[in-house]
A and B are shown apart, each in its own frame.
Chain A
């Protein structure tokens, strides 16, 4: 692969459009993803994330617009593009009826590796992804996390320079999610470019170097996590008082020390903007001195819903949207 002329831009998409019936699933997406690092595509269900990824991965033909992967067109040079990418779908793209080893061997045989090389590669990947013990078991007995890991392993057989991960952690428990995050970080260290979609701001924040926020088939914001968060506003501090009688006194103390607007709700909860941690320490000490007892202190990060509210003026819709295949 060394003789390949690869453009330094991993993904260059211009005005991508995909229409299903009268649903504009993707409605003019522009993306510019540099090689190296992790790029997050963030958006709620039905925003058009999966459809966009499927077009970039040559699984769907765009109705309008164009996309290039390392300079190769996804429609005209689709075969070339397929040599450069690995795709891990939202639904496990492995064979349920076969074992992990068999799956990996078949994929690497299809990629042109000899039978001996395929066995070696399968064993290496299983080892790397902690699946050696379960290698012979049929996938029907795998947990969600194991299946995702195998899926990811299968995308890495040919060591493609660009890897698409469609919601790699949706439905995983927190521990498994952390493992997945570590794996994704390791991939990038080895020089790959990772494009991942997610519904969780937290995940994009933790992993991505840059984020595109997608809603209703359009990119509505793009930038580093820090840039995006600056747009959204800061986290908030939530204090729950043990005794409702102290509410006014507590409000006064906060207003004095933070010099900011605070909101109080009926159930003794006060919400204030999150600031410098040092100031919060002072604030808690001031509460102790005034004999105001707290039953809970929480720091709340902006939720995806708040991001959307800020960026679009509407909440993420919970209506049932046709699954974007």
Chain B
């Protein structure tokens, strides 16, 4: 058989299959080196405890009333921080000899990249479960019940997965893994803190309040809060959903292009 005889459909099917194998490889590596998961396990637990008891009294009067505000905020923050790892991992992987082997195999060019992104879903699931578990232990009981939590989780995971393409892009174009980490943190820190994740926006000075209002992280946090409290989708939900989609479409396109160029 020659390359030309393989039909387009089989090609896509092969690509998906090869990506799944690469995702399996990613999960195997996580199992071998569980320390990779420190950021998505320790951070949700530590931040929830720390920020809730630190700010609870000052912002909401008491810890219990602060939980519905802070838990969606911490979820958004930690899940986005978790999505940075893809760039670092991708860069490290591409620098290793094993990547030469992948590139010399007759497989879809995109499979190693797609596989890595698929395997990362496990990280977002861990963050989400841990954050809500911490909230529950500390006494949060969302009015929308389990359905609300499930819907909010899916939205957060979807949004994190979309934005992981941004960091995947940095991973592909950057020269070193520490460079990826650096630039990602510079972007992420202001985005997550200058939002409504931890404090009410109306307490902020005007320019800051403006930024916090247009900040996509604020939309995500508000959407999660609304799902948890009222069990319904609001304006912010759709902004997050479509915002995520746009980020994914744009960044997957330029990431794939940069990646193919590097991998060719």
- Residues of A participating in the B interface, judged by any CB pair closer than 8 Å: 3-4, 57-59, 61, 77, 79-80, 82-83, 85-87, 89, 91-98, 102, 106-107, 109-112, 138, 154
With beta carbons under 8 angstroms apart, the residue of B18, B24, B106, B111 that contacts A82 is B106
Complex CA gap A87/B32 in Å reads 26
Known: A93-B97, A106-B21. A98 touches B28 (CB 8 A): yes
Q: Mark B78-110, 1 if CB is under 8 A from A, else 0.
A: 000000000000000000111111111111000
Q: In the complex, are the beta carbons of B100 and A59 less than 8 A apart?
A: yes
Give the size category of B's interface with A.
20 to 34
Asked if B3 CB lies within 8 Å of chain A CBs, one says yes
30 A/B residue pairs, CB under 8 Å, sorted by A: A57-B104, A58-B103, A58-B104, A59-B100, A59-B104, A77-B3, A79-B3, A79-B106, A80-B2, A80-B106, A82-B105, A82-B106, A83-B106, A87-B104, A89-B100, A93-B97, A93-B101, A94-B101, A95-B25, A95-B29, A95-B96, A95-B98, A97-B29, A97-B32, A107-B105, A109-B21, A110-B18, A110-B22, A110-B102, A154-B101
- Of all A-B residue pairs in the complex, the 4 with the closest CB atoms, nearest first, are A93-B101, A82-B106, A91-B97, A93-B97
Complex CA gap A3/B2 in Å reads 9
Q: Smallest distance from the beta carbon of A144 to chain B beta carbons, Å?
A: 13
With CB as the reference atom, state the residue of chain B lying closest to A147.
B97
Q: In the complex, are the beta carbons of B103 and A59 less than 8 A apart?
A: yes
Chain A residues with CB below 8 A from B21, complex form? 106, 109-110
Complex CA gap A102/B31 in Å reads 12
Q: In the complex, are the beta carbons of A106 and B104 less than 8 A apart?
A: no
Chain A residues with CB below 8 A from B22, complex form? 110
Chain B residues with CB below 8 A from A91, complex form? 97
Chain A residues with CB below 8 A from B101, complex form? 87, 89, 93-94, 107, 154
Asked if B33 CB lies within 8 Å of chain A CBs, one says yes
Determine chain B's interface SS by DSSP, over half rule.
helix
Interface residues of B in 206-252 (CB under 8 A from A): none
Chain A residues with CB below 8 A from B96, complex form? 95-96
Complex CA gap A92/B264 in Å reads 20
Q: Smallest distance from the beta carbon of A125 to chain B beta carbons, Å?
A: 14
Q: In the complex, are the beta carbons of B104 and A102 less than 8 A apart?
A: no
Q: In the complex, are the beta carbons of A82 and B104 less than 8 A apart?
A: yes
Complex CA gap A91/B100 in Å reads 10
Asked if B187 CB lies within 8 Å of chain A CBs, one says no
With CB as the reference atom, state the residue of chain B lying closest to A79.
B3
